[in-house]
């Protein structure tokens, strides 16, 4: 019922380490902007590396296709005898 939290990825750990470094160290005019630049690059990388969920249009399309398949299979199951019987009748003539 409850989902276990995912362990943080290496990318998230790297971002956290850099943010901790910026928060704990004194401001250095050369080092701090470099670290902030690295953090922004890693955050952009994290956003592009996460898989995107399918859109609602895709889910509707998949559901429509599955419903169509179920209808066709149900029709074939219900009308198997009549379709086979008509084939035999035509052969007997």
Residues 42 and 70 in one domain: no
42 lies in some domain:
yes
Residues 30 and 43 in one domain: yes
Give the structural domain span for 67: 54-93
2 lies in some domain:
no
Lowest mean per-residue pLDDT among 17-21, 47-51, 60-64, 82-86:
82-86
77 lies in some domain:
yes
CB 41 within 8 A of CB 3: no
Residues 58 and 45 in one domain: no
pLDDT in tens, 22-64: 888 888 888 888 988 999 999 998 888 767 788 899 999 999 9
Burial 13-36 (b: 16+ CB within 10 A, else e): ebbeebeeebeeeeeeeeeeeebe
């Amino acid at each position: 019922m409850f989902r276990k939290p995912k362990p943080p990825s290496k990318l998230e750990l790297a971002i956290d380490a850099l943010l901790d470094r910026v928060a704990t160290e004194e401001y250095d005019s050369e080092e701090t902007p470099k670290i902030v630049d690295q953090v922004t690059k890693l955050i952009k990388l994290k956003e592009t590396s996460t898989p995107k969920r399918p859109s609602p249009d895709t889910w509707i399309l998949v559901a429509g296709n599955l419903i169509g398949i179920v209808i066709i299979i149900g029709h074939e199951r219900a009308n198997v005898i009549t379709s086979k019987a008509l084939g035999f009748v035509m052969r007997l003539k």
